[in-house]
A and B are shown apart, each in its own frame.
Chain A
Amino acid sequence: MVDQPDIHNDDWNGVIDNPWRRLRQFTAARIGLGRSGVSLPTKEMLAFQLAHAQARDAVHTPLDFAALIQKLETLAEQYPLLNPEPPLKLHSEAVDRMTYLQRPDLGRRLDEASRVLLRQEQQTPEQPFDLALVIADGLSATAIAHNAVPFIQALCEELATDKQEWKLAPITLVEQARVAVGDDVGELLNAKTVLILIGERPGLSSPDSLGLYLTWAPVRGLTDARRNCISNVRPEGLNFSEAAYKAGYLLRESRRLQLSGVQLKDRSGALLESADDLTETTEKTATLEHSSTAADETITTESGQAAALHSTAEAKNFLLS
């Protein structure tokens, strides 16, 4: 029998701590949580609930488009590279969030009113735009609210160093959008390249990951094989200047080679990758959990997670010493 501890003692909190919690120096996994009986201690249970609540809010809180537009207009005053026209607010065919979550096909298409608006816009320019920036809520409004403007600022600085001129279309903002909606926008604006900034599916520890997807010669109906992706853009993942550097590289290469997607990866020596829409369950992840379909060695090369730590200097593992 276990001795009955004195539960009236001030030190007693009902929790059996785990001395191996210090192994958290090696991982962000929730190890060494301790236990109450065999269950989660109160503090850990509530911490988890908070993380889940934040991830849920990231999915369901509507993006504050007015505030975002205001910030973008201020940014445009600072950076002449950006089109001086006010951002255009658009909407996908998914009428609300519940529809959006269940009908990825509708989130990939602009609704008719947005198409009309863009056709009017497109009547003016005498030459095509080099780049259209599209901002989409995707699965995390939090990601856009936190990270879209700082990334665009970093991208402006990156492109300002380029010798060639970049003629940008007015920025567009799309509500209830999936990645492919960017192709609709790019096509209607007559842009050579589209770069869509979209909120990724939030993880418990990463509710605000921003994804970037590039398409050369965007038209409706392209598949993920024609896109390149930069994932996990946020201060704790791939930071803004690194992300802008990678995006700048991609944009220049795409423009030089006049293509994007799998072929761009091949020709650039596996530095970059084409990628699936991370707001959706794609063929790869639909293999449940998990296996990727091909031996794609660079699967997370562009995410900050992998970039952070890949050296894995294999000193003797503690568990084997």
Chain B
Amino acid sequence: MHKAYRYSLGSKTYEFRNLADLMARATPARSGDRLAGVIARSAEERAVAQMALAEVPLKNFLNEVLIPYEQDEVTRLIIDEHDALAFAPISHFTVGDFRNWLLSDLASSEMLAKIRRGVTPEMAAAVSKIMRNQDLILVAQKCRVITAFRSTIGLPKRLATRLQPNHPTDDMNGIAASILDGLLYGSGDAVIGINPATDNVAQATRLMKLMDEVISKYGIPTQSCVLTHVTNTLECIEQGAPVDLVFQSIGGTEATNASFGFNLATLAEAEQAALSLQRGTVGNNVMYFETGQGSALSANAHHGLDQQTCETRAYAVARKFNPLLVNTVVGFIGPEYLFDGKEIIRAGLEDHFCAKLLGLPMGCDVCYTNHAEADQNDMDNLLTLLGTAGCSFVMGIPGSDDIMLNYQTTSFHDALYARRVLGLGPSPEFEIWLEKMQIMSNAAGACLNEALPPAFAASLKTLPAGNSESEVSNG
């Protein structure tokens, strides 16, 4: 086993069993680490652990792996793909030095891109633990990660949205109604992505075809995705379905991913299969991943690590497969992992920072469940902070209410709020489309037209009039 870490404070010496223990005790408080029994036992122990962590050389993270190399393919991926050349400029730093450097003017956007492949997830997680929220925002904002398929994600002063038109029974007209609502509010440039209620190949194919036809008919510069299991999507591709992006939820340990029913080879196969379809127009990033703190513990696959370190290891998995989009689903998992608005906001900023530092096109599902101590005001705060930090994309859903997954995420209105107060435009291809379709008069300024855009007015005309909303009960 690896060496213990010690730190003396006055006459008292604190001891941490190993690097994983030190990192866990240094983590800002959250309920999931308490549940796992790895949280600092006192506020002082946490502060001391952060001091001790600040003194750890970055090189240690290459020699003291947190989960044994032989036991875990994510560890093997991290070590085997580490780029020593990219690491060279920062190789002499401690974690504390690394924070200073990241905040300094030396760490320009170009420099941050240069060292990216030399940073391991554990280094990113470690430094984030000794950064305040404003540090996480400032450094993330300097990181540039640009990806593309039919639209371009991650350009400066842009904020994209995933249009998420979920429906509890996958009703095709119900989904189309939410898609229309979203498009008319300028949402959907990151992806139109559906979580299917019925999760199988036939259903996924139906949903893919629906979105493909909508995207073609209206010439929308965006991509579609059905968030079904990767093996389902592979089958869809074999059967000739119109697959733009392949989705998978991923975790930071081999055992977590095994509990999700895939391994790295599965993802490699999926990326190749999607690339072979050549459906992108301005780029070839074909993967979409979701992550979130707590998933490894929930799968009983965390190896005694704190949940934020596990989460960051998932980014090594993501970056291996050149994703168009990655997002943390930060508040979905519930209060046993992130208890309240304060913990959710902190976790959202950590995840965004660590992913951007590692070079991922990171977005965020700014969200909460009804049993968490959080509300819309917390989401407003996190959305505003992430918009400031240069978050690649957020979710868009009618009125913040996901009637299929029973949780609250950001609405179409919320995204327009963020674009306006922060001066952020949609992806450039989508911006042109919004104006061409007369949805917006000034898409960069988030100015919606009052009149119904002609192309959509024509579709609405085909509907029988007079149906009232009371026909659908809240299901």
Contacts and interface: CB of A to CB of B under 8 A. Distances in A.
B229 A291 contact: yes
Interface in A281-321: 281-283, 285-297, 299-300, 304-306, 308-310, 312, 314, 317-321
Interface stretch (A51-59, A83-91, A109-117): A51-59
Interface in B384-438: 397-401, 403, 405-408, 411, 413, 416-417, 420
B181 interface: yes
Contacts of B268: none
B406 A300 contact: no
B169 A26 contact: no
B304 interface: no
Contacts of A8: none
Given A19-B452, A39-B413, A283-B299, A292 B371 contact: no
A300 B198 contact: yes
Contacts of B180: 20, 23, 31, 319
B399 A48 contact: yes
A281 B174 contact: no
Nearest to A27: B174
Interface stretch (B20-28, B81-89, B95-103, B288-296): B288-296
A38 B413 contact: yes
B173 A318 contact: yes
Contacts of B31: 102
A23 B165 CA distance: 13
Contact of B332 (A28, A102, A289, A295): A289
Given A299-B199, A321-B462, A26 B260 contact: no
A308 to B, nearest CB: 6
Task: Give the interface residue-count category, chain B.
Answer: 35 or more
A29 B213 contact: no
Interface string B255-270: 0000111000000000
A27 B472 CA distance: 6
Contacts of B341: none
A88 to B, nearest CB: 27
B195 A201 contact: no
Nearest to A56: B370
Contacts of A44: 399
Interface in B446-475: 446, 448, 450, 452, 456, 459-460, 462-463, 465, 467-469, 471-475
Contact of A33 (B333, B413, B467): B413
Contacts of B299: 283, 286
A57 to B, nearest CB: 10
Interface string A7-27: 000000000101111111111
Q: Which 3 A-B pairs have the closest CB atoms?
A: A30-B399, A203-B406, A24-B469
16 contacts: A23-B181, A25-B468, A26-B177, A29-B178, A38-B420, A38-B448, A48-B376, A203-B406, A300-B168, A305-B168, A312-B171, A312-B172, A314-B206, A318-B460, A320-B176, A320-B217
Given A31-B178, A309-B171, 4 more contacts: A29-B397, A30-B399, A101-B336, A290-B227
Interface of A: 2, 16, 18-33, 35, 38-40, 44, 48-49, 51-52, 55-56, 58-59, 101-105, 139, 201-207, 236-237, 280-283, 285-297, 299-300, 304-306, 308-310, 312, 314, 317-321
